[in-house]
Structure formats: structure tokens, C-alpha cells
């Protein structure tokens, strides 16, 4: 009778928790704390976190790494029966990959009004002329996702400021 999958908000909460665990791993490695998991038939088939600095690869976003893992698990580049959970709204690069692999659904935590491509700055996931459109659920565990990002960037600014202050002190001969 019902052909469409039932979206269980408790599952969204749970799987976003899994993505948050991945984001914490990124945070611990001084990477921008974004985590992602891909779920198929109620099971996590891929987990990843940002590794741009670690891998020296601008494309090593959590979403991209998770997509690559999921493709290997599924044995196909098409992920049309999978859901991506990610702690921050996907950027244009990641949104492009999401469209190409035909993810059924994208669930994200923190919106990105400046660079988000799932409804923030733009919406590539439902762009009218593209061949695939993903369902979007925004704002799941938003405060936890935002808090992690804010803490990270505050620490980065403090480190940068302290580094500049230390450099200024050394320049003055205050060793």
C-alpha cells in the first residue's frame, strides 16, 4: 500500500549521532569537524570525516570519502537506495558528487548560508535541470553540529592569534 519509505526521525537522530562521532574524530585531528555516514537498508555502510589537511587533498571531505567507501561496499557507483547523514550542509563539490551517485536522501545538521549547496547558498541537490534530485532533511541535531564547528573555529582563531603574538614577541627580541 505504501511505496515510499517511512522516514523515522528517531533513526535520523541516531544516524546523525554516528556522523557526529566521525566529526569528533576530525576535530581531534585538527581537521574541520565534519563527519558523514551512509546508510543502506537501516545499516551504516560507510563512515568518514574530513581529512583535507591529513591527506593534503582538497577533495577529502567527509561526504566524498564516505561516497567512495559506499561505492566499494555496494559494488556500484549508483547509491540510489542510500541516505547520507552529514554534520554540515554539503558544499558544491560534495553536492555534485551526491547528484552523480544518485543518493536517495541527504540529512544534514548545521546549515551553511555562505557555501552550502543543499538549500543554504544554493540548492544543487534539487536543481531543476539536473538528472537526479535527492530528498533533503535539514537541521537534525543542529545545535550539536553547530557547537562542534564553532568550538573548532574559535580554537583555530585563538591558536592563530597566539601564534601571531608569539611571533611578534620574538621579532622584538623577547625570547
- Beta strand 82-88 pairing with 105-110: parallel
Give the chain's domain count: 1
| Rounded mean pLDDT, 72-82 | 98
Indicate whether 6 belongs to any domain. no
Q: Which of 4, 41, 63, 71 is catalytic?
A: 63
71 in Cβ contact with 63 (< 8 Å): no
Indicate whether 114 belongs to any domain. yes
Grid cell in block for residue 162: 597566539
| Rounded mean pLDDT, 86-113 | 98
Indicate whether 124 belongs to any domain. yes
Indicate whether 43 belongs to any domain. yes
**Annotation marks residue 63 as catalytic:** yes
Cα 169 from Cα 175, distance rounded (Å)? 7
Indicate whether 61 belongs to any domain. yes
* pTM across the whole model: 0.87
Indicate whether 57 belongs to any domain. yes
> CA of 85: how far to CAs of 38, 107, 153, 159, 162, in Å?
6, 5, 22, 30, 35
- Beta strand 35-40 pairing with 82-88: antiparallel
Domain assignment of residue 93, given as a range = 12-161
Round the average pLDDT of the chain to a whole number and report it: 91
Using the predicted structure, report yes or no on whether residue 3 has a pLDDT greater than 80: no
Using the predicted structure, report yes or no on whether residue 8 has a pLDDT greater than 90: no
- Provide the CATH number for the domain around residue 114: 3.40.140.10
What's the confidence (pLDDT) of residue 162?
79
Indicate whether 113 belongs to any domain. yes
Indicate whether 169 belongs to any domain. no
Cα 138 from Cα 107, distance rounded (Å)? 6
What's the confidence (pLDDT) of residue 1?
43
Amino acid at each position: 500500500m505504501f511505496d515510499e519509505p517511512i522516514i523515522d526521525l528517531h533513526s535520523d537522530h541516531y544516524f546523525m549521532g554516528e556522523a557526529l562521532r566521525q566529526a569528533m574524530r576530525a576535530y581531534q585531528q585538527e581537521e574541520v569537524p565534519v563527519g558523514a555516514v551512509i546508510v543502506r537498508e537501516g545499516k551504516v555502510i560507510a563512515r568518514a570525516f574530513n581529512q583535507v589537511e591529513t591527506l593534503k587533498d582538497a577533495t577529502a571531505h567527509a561526504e566524498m570519502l564516505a561516497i567512495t567507501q559506499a561505492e566499494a561496499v555496494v559494488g556500484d557507483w549508483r547509491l540510489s537506495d542510500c541516505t547520507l547523514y552529514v554534520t554540515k550542509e554539503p558544499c558544491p563539490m560534495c553536492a555534485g558528487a551526491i547528484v552523480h551517485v544518485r543518493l536517495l536522501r541527504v540529512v544534514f545538521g548545521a546549515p551553511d548560508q555562505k557555501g552550502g549547496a543543499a538549500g543554504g547558498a544554493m540548492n544543487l541537490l534539487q536543481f531543476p535541470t539536473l538528472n537526479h534530485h535527492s530528498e533533503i532533511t535539514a537541521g537534525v541535531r543542529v545545535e550539536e553540529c553547530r557547537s562542534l564547528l564553532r568550538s573548532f573555529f574559535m580554537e583555530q582563531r585563538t591558536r592563530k592569534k597566539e601564534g601571531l603574538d608569539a611571533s611578534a614577541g620574538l621579532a622584538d627580541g623577547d625570547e
